[in-house]
């Protein structure tokens, strides 16, 4: 049943305008970060790592979570139209499978987004005159940032499920990201979900923030706990009452 739900959600994205956001929006932080790097060459002397700090300063802090918010709002858009909640609630599949089907599709698109930002990062590095390919360690940071999206996607799907307006959950994601910067600066990143993608991607840092085993464990535990909390809350709401259409 879960596979059928994933296939159904994939059909919603076929020929979807959502891919315009997927392609265009990551270009903005790539351009901003590269420009910032080129304007500060006297201070930023670590090559690929310095460029990474500038691109992720904008991408992970202001664009990544709202992008996921756009994906989530789009997937719930059909259910919020007309009387489609009645159809959704009476489908011959469990509500858990329905929610998780959406989550899997969001994570697929998020993975593609991360691949795209890595391509943009590589292109930016070449335009900046860097030799070779970027360090392998950055692949790890990209992967960690993708895993952090599990927590954010669960939260944004929950918000987009209970909030009919398309834009409000995206605005919450932007606010959460800004608050996440403050939480990270205060050393509270592991208890704020929107900080996890910044921590995972080593945003605005040249040295890995998770060199200590305790930090690595805290990161993955936080991702798992936030996923269980938000996905569990969404499934519980779907099981216990109709969501207002």
* pLDDT tens digits, one per residue of 110-166: 999 999 999 999 999 999 999 999 999 999 999 999 999 999 999 999 999 999 899
Q: Which residue has the tokens 């392609």?
A: 23
Q: Binning pLDDT at 50, 70 and 90, where does residue 242 land?
A: low
Residues 129, 223: Cα–Cα separation, whole Å:
36
- The two three-digit tokens of residue 76, written as one number: 């719930």
Q: What is residue 124's predicted lDDT score, i.e. its pLDDT?
A: 97
Q: Which of 64, 66, 73, 229 is nearest to 160 (CA)?
A: 73
- How high is the pLDDT of residue 34? 97
Chain segment 11-61, per-residue pLDDT in tens: 888 878 888 999 999 999 999 999 999 999 999 988 999 999 999 999 999
Q: Could you tell me which residues come within 8 angstroms of residue 133 by beta carbon, excluding any fewer than 6 positions away?
A: 122
The conformational region for residue 192 under phi > 0 = left, psi -120 to 50 = alpha, else beta, is beta
Global model pTM greater than 0.85: yes
- If you average pLDDT over every residue of the chain, what do you get? 92
What Rg value do the Cα atoms of the chain yield, rounded? 19
Alpha-carbon distance of 65 to 69, in angstroms, equals 6
- CA distances (Å), origin 88, targets 45, 46, 137, 155: 54, 52, 43, 20
Neighbours of 243 (CB within 10 A): 17
- C-alpha–C-alpha distance, residues 47 and 179, integer Å: 29
- Percent of all residues in the chain with a pLDDT value above 70, rounded to a whole number: 97
Q: Which of 93, 91, 66 is nearest to 78 (CA)?
A: 91
pLDDT at residue 10 greater than cutoff 80: yes
- Average of pLDDT values for 95-115? 95
Among 83-97, 146-160, 181-195, where is mean pLDDT lowest? Answer: 83-97
Tell me the domain boundaries of the chain. 2-240
Q: What is the pLDDT of residue 14?
A: 82
Average pLDDT over residues 98-117: 96
Query: pLDDT value at position 21?
Result: 92
Residue 187, phi then psi, degrees to nearest 5? 75, 20
**C-beta separation of 9 from 22 below 8 A:** no
């Amino acid at each position: 049943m879960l596979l059928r739900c994933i296939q159904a959600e994939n059909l919603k994205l076929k020929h979807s305008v959502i891919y315009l956001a997927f392609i265009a929006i990551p270009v903005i932080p790539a351009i901003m970060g590269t420009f910032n790097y080129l304007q500060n060459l006297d201070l930023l002397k670590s090559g690929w790592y310095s460029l990474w700090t500038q691109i992720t300063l904008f991408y992970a802090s202001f664009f990544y979570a709202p992008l996921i918010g756009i994906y989530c709002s789009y997937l719930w858009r059909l259910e919020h139209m007309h009387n489609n909640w009645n159809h959704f609630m009476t489908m011959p599949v469990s509500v858990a499978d329905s929610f998780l089907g959406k989550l899997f599709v969001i994570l697929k698109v998020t993975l593609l987004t991360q691949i795209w930002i890595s391509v943009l990062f590589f292109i930016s590095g070449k335009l900046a005159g860097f030799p070779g390919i970027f360090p392998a360690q950055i692949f790890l940071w990209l992967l960690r940032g993708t895993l952090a999206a599990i927590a954010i996607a669960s939260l944004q799907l929950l918000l987009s499920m209970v909030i009919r307006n398309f834009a409000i959950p995206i605005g919450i994601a932007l606010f959460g990201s800004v608050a996440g910067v403050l939480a990270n600066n205060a050393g509270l990143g592991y208890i704020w979900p929107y900080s996890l993608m910044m921590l995972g991607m080593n945003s605005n840092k040249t040295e890995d923030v998770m060199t200590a085993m305790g930090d690595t464990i805290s990161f993955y535990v936080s991702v798992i706990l936030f996923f269980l909390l938000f996905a569990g809350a969404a499934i519980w709401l779907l099981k216990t009452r109709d969501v207002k259409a």
